Amino acid sequence: MRRCVALLGGSFDPVHNGHVALGKYFATLLTPDELRVIPAGKPWQKHTLHAAPEHRAAMLRIAFERLPVPVVVDPLEILRDTPTYTIDTLRAVRAELGPDASIAFLIGADQLQQLHTWKEWQHLFDFAHICAASRPGFSMDSAHVPAEVRREFDRRTATPQQIRETPRGLACIAGNLEVDISATDIRAALEHGERPDAFIPAGVLDYIQQHHLYT
């Protein structure tokens, strides 16, 4: 059987329930052999990360420890000295896993709307499938998703089974993941001494307070 690995990247500054819901949703939908979570090192579209890489990786291990699939926190991007581009990450993971593995790159609707600004975005499909999920406030209809992105997804749309059975090049849009959480709002709450319990896994919040992050 073909190996299937799902990839979830992001700054995770901090990781919150929205990230976990996205990973869990596609873990259930695709039943991958592994969910690989990749915290950003130096993301080119963000100027500053507030928590150090080792803290963000530790919080990820806590947040994803109870998912129904094996989860690996991959330091690939953290170990880079250069700006983080998804195309380079997917190229590296493909080289590691070989040509036959199914690789599914997971994104939210907000990332889908900006996909056309990513470096070599159309070539992402040369290395992986792209699976996007909805999010309140970020519509996925043709009025909000750029036309060139919509065309690529329309011609590549596939079922979860097809994604599992194919190495790369397909797309999937899941329109029923309604989780609206902002890391920016969470950091603001923490800076004001509040406990955003509804938005962060309990163990992650404890870790943040123990290490005096975002204060």
CATH number of the domain at 137, please.
3.40.50.620
In a domain, residue 100? The reply is yes
**What percent of the chain stands above pLDDT 90?**
66
> How many whole angstroms separate alpha carbon 117 and alpha carbon 45?
10
In a domain, residue 190? The reply is no
Yes or no: say if 103 and 128 are a contact pair by the CB < 8 Å rule: yes
In a domain, residue 194? The reply is no
In a domain, residue 97? The reply is yes
- Containing domain of residue 166, as a range? 4-181
Q: Which pTM was predicted? A: 0.92
With 0-12 / 13-18 / 19 or more C-beta atoms within 10 angstroms meaning exposed / middle / buried, residue 190 is: buried
In a domain, residue 206? The reply is no
In a domain, residue 24? The reply is yes
The pLDDT tens digits for 3-56 are: 999 999 999 999 999 899 999 999 999 999 999 999 988 765 555 788 999 999
The number of distinct structural domains making up the chain is 1
Range of lowest pLDDT (18-32, 154-168, 169-183, 188-202): 169-183
In a domain, residue 10? The reply is yes
Preceding peptide of 201 cis, ω within 30°: no
The length of the chain in residues reads 215
The pLDDT tens digits for 103-125 are: 999 998 888 888 999 999 999 99
Residue range 172-182: mean pLDDT, rounded: 75
Paired with 71 in beta bridges are: 35
> How many whole angstroms separate alpha carbon 61 and alpha carbon 41?
17
